[in-house]
Structure 1
């Protein structure tokens, strides 16, 4: 998938891995961050400068930060699937047992 499609699909959020897989070099990713075209949300997860921060972007960022195999859980999952709950203040994710990315605020 090209970078534009990734950003459009994921509310303006992209992981470093996705950026590299779509053809950017590590230097270009770093340059976009340094020039404030991309804003770090979590380690190795960025919000494009023209994207508005949103609940959807927060959820995408949390799942991308948690990595491969991560899935939403709890209230965040219910909200994502359109159940009548408020957007989550804390985004819960479940990761495979073999990985333990730690905790992040929010």
Structure 2
């Protein structure tokens, strides 16, 4: 047996649906938050930390080499962040610049 909706109920549903579709949303009751633009010197840029695979992508030197250098104390300085070995991006970039400078002046890299 199929239940049918009486015509009066259909009309009521249609009226309610049309009313809700055209009713504007009420205005927000919260105050607008005032924000001030941040200046460059208000907060330092967050330091980026690289894992061995990130160092590999940056330099082309295999991740295993980065981990080995950390183990023997060679290469740029690294440290443990929780259980992960990480390098600061700024330290890696400085180390790359140092390697470049040593190679350009004829020194051993």
TM-score range, shorter chain: under 0.3
Bigger Rg, structure 1 or 2: 2
Highest relative contact order (Cα 8 Å, sep 6+), 1 or 2?
Answer: 1
